C-alpha cells in the first residue's frame, strides 16, 4: 500500500514541476511588440477623406501630415515626399513625445502633367536610412496644365 501512495506522490510532484516549468516558460516569452508609430494623411480641411484627385501643375495643393508616437520613447521623424521617384520635399517633426500627436499642413507643388501620377509619403526615424514604415502613403493624382 505504501508503494502505491509513493507512486502517486511522485506522479503529483512531477506534474507540479512540469506545471511550474510551463508557467515560468510562458511568463518569459517575449510579448508582441506593441511599439509603433501611426502615420497618416489628411485632406486640406484636416479630414481623412476628400483628398485631391486632380491638381494643376505649378499650383500648390495642401495636405496635413500626421504622426502619433506609440514607441515608448520620444522620437524625431522625417517625412520624405517623392514625386515620380524624385525627392520633392522633406518635413521634420521635431521631437514627438510618447503618446503625442504631431500634425502639420504642407503645400505640395507638382510639375509636369499626366494621369495617375503618384505622390509618395515615406516616414523615417530621423537619422535612419530606411523607412520606419516599409510602405509609403500614396496619393494618385491627375496633373493638368495651368
Number of Cα atoms under 13 Å in the Cβ half of residue 84 = 10
According to DSSP, the residues that pair with 75 across neighbouring strands are 96
Position 89 pLDDT exceeds 80: yes
Strand pairing category for 54-56 and 137-144: parallel
pLDDT single digits (tens) 55-70: 999 999 999 999 999 9
What ranges in the chain are assigned the alpha helix state H?
A: 2-27
Q: What is the pTM of this model?
A: 0.76
Question: Chain-wide mean pLDDT for the chain?
Answer: 87
The predicted structure's pLDDT at residue 30: 47
How much is the average pLDDT of 100-111?
96
Report the relative pairing of strands 54-56 and 75-83 from DSSP bridges. Answer: unpaired
CA 109 to chain centre: 25
Report yes or no: 120 and 136 within 8 Å, Cβ to Cβ. yes
Amino acid at each position: 500500500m505504501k508503494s502505491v501512495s509513493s507512486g502517486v506522490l511522485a506522479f503529483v510532484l512531477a506534474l507540479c514541476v512540469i506545471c511550474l516549468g510551463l508557467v515560468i516558460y510562458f511568463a518569459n516569452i517575449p510579448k508582441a511588440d506593441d511599439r509603433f508609430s501611426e502615420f497618416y494623411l489628411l485632406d486640406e480641411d484636416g479630414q481623412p477623406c476628400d483628398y485631391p484627385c486632380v491638381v494643376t501643375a505649378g499650383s500648390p495643393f495642401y495636405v496635413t501630415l500626421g504622426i502619433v508616437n506609440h514607441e515608448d520613447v520620444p522620437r524625431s521623424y522625417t517625412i520624405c515626399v517623392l514625386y515620380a521617384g524624385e525627392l520633392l520635399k522633406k518635413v521634420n517633426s521635431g521631437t514627438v513625445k510618447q503618446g503625442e500627436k504631431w500634425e502639420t499642413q504642407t503645400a505640395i507643388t507638382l510639375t509636369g502633367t499626366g494621369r495617375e501620377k503618384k505622390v509618395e509619403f515615406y516616414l523615417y526615424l530621423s537619422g535612419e536610412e530606411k523607412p520606419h514604415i516599409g510602405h509609403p502613403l500614396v496619393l494618385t493624382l491627375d496633373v493638368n496644365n495651368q
